[in-house]
């Protein structure tokens, strides 16, 4: 298996996020990627490769130009507004959100722009954020090109995650939607239909919103019920798509404390939906925050369950791009990824 990774991920290293009313160290941090890297090296799962440079076009195929320009310019604008240097500046975080009775209009001030383009206070921007995001986008496109070029499967070890990012919105540690970028790249390379299977603990609200009115990309999510879990405002079972996309969005929410038996039955149902769609390629949003001891999740999966899940997904027999999403129990991330890859590769 080809595995793509860029060391530039370390340039994105938030100092803090607002959590439970307290500014605390970020759960999404460079140590996550290092745990993944250690696991794939130790397990000998494939060749570790640096990505090529694919430019902005794949990003702009999913994200709006004003939003991409904001991500490029936000840090410089933050420094200018505060009259400070890189070394003295805190991370850029939003202050207020344009909800319900407020107008959806982009302000000129950077504080307003941060709020306009985000939906939470846990997704900081810093000096290296854009460079890391470009490297992550190159990583996932290099992975997709490998599969489009004939590889049965390939792994994108990019960071940060992406499935909460919408076309013009960041949140949930996500800025660019890498699963969506990969799916659209498959379409550009000639695939008629692409399926995205998201198995992260949290609903991939950004991925859903990007493809909600399209019938060429099926989006299937297995996730915690948003009535009880982030992102709260998307991910309900009655969200089936709109217009041409009616029926091409499948949400399979599960209650807190769901364990392997119920989760695996739901994976079988998700696999059925994918098979019925008859896609030419699969993008897997692999979140490992379904782990029993994850600090941000309340499911009950253990390492051996990831081996079983990997085998079930590989059995779909589809050209597959694996994109890493959440998972914050850093001490167990490597073992859980290794378990998943062992099961997946056994069936490839």
pLDDT at 16: 85
CB of 162 within 8 A of CB of 196? no
Active site residue 5: no
CB of 92 within 8 A of CB of 110? yes
pTM summary value: 0.98
Tokens of 215: 């019938």
Task: Point out the least confidently predicted range of 84-93, 155-164, 267-276.
Answer: 84-93
Residue 87 confidence (pLDDT) above 90? no
**How many Cβ atoms from other residues are within 10 Å of residue 303's Cβ?**
17
Residue 252 confidence (pLDDT) above 90? yes
Percent of the chain clearing pLDDT 70 (strictly above): 100
Say which residue, 16 or 131, is predicted with more confidence: 131
Q: Using one digit for the tens of pLDDT, what is the confidence trace for 34-68?
A: 999 999 999 999 999 999 999 999 999 999 999 99
Please give the Cα distance from 164 to 182 (Å, whole number).
15
**Identified catalytic residue from 9, 12, 27, 164:** 164
Number of domains in the chain: 1
Residue 18 confidence (pLDDT) above 80? no
Q: What is the separation, in whole angstroms, between the first and last Cα of the chain?
A: 10
Domain of 17, CATH number, reads 3.40.800.20
Which value, to the nearest 10 degrees, does the dihedral of the CA atoms of residues 6, 185, 308, 49 take?
A: -30
The residues facing 320 across adjacent strands are: 153, 282
Tokens of 78: 């933050």
Q: Which domain holds residue 317?
A: 2-347
Give the pLDDT mean for 102-125. 96
Tokens of 20: 């439970």
3-state secondary structure of 108: coil
Residue 211 confidence (pLDDT) above 90? yes
């Amino acid at each position: 298996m080809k595995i793509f990774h860029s060391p530039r991920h370390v340039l994105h290293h938030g100092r803090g996020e607002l959590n439970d009313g307290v500014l605390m160290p970020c759960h999404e941090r460079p140590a996550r990627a290092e745990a993944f890297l250690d696991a794939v090296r130790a397990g000998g799962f494939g060749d570790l490769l640096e990505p090529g440079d694919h430019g902005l076009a794949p990003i702009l195929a999913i994200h709006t130009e004003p939003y991409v320009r904001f991500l490029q310019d936000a840090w410089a604008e933050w420094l200018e507004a505060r009259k400070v240097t890189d070394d003295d500046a805190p991370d850029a975080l939003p202050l207020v959100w344009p909800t319900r009775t407020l107008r959806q209009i982009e302000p000129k001030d950077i504080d307003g722009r941060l709020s306009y383009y985000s939906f939470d206070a846990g997704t900081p921007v810093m000096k290296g954020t854009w460079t890391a995001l470009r490297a992550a986008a190159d990583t996932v496109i290099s992975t997709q090109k490998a599969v489009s070029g004939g590889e049965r499967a390939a792994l994108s070890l990019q960071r940060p995650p992406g499935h909460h990012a919408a076309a013009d919105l960041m949140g949930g540690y996500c800025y660019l939607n890498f699963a969506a970028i990969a799916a659209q790249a498959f379409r550009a390379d000639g695939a008629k239909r692409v399926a995205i299977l998201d198995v992260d603990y949290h609903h991939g609200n950004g991925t859903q919103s990007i493809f909600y009115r399209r019938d060429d990309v099926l989006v299937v999510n297995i996730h915690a019920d948003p009535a009880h879990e982030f992102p709260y405002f998307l991910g309900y079972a009655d969200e089936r798509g709109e217009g041409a996309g009616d029926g091409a969005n499948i949400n399979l929410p599960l209650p807190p404390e769901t364990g392997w038996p119920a989760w695996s039955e739901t994976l079988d149902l998700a696999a059925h939906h994918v098979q019925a769609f008859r896609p030419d390629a699969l993008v897997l949003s692999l979140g490992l925050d379904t782990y029993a001891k994850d600090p941000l999740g309340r499911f009950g999966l253990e390492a051996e369950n990831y081996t079983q899940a990997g085998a079930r997904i590989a059995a779909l027999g589809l050209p597959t791009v694996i994109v890493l999403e959440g998972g914050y129990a850093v001490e167990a991330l490597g073992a859980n990824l290794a378990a998943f890859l062992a099961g997946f590769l056994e069936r490839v």
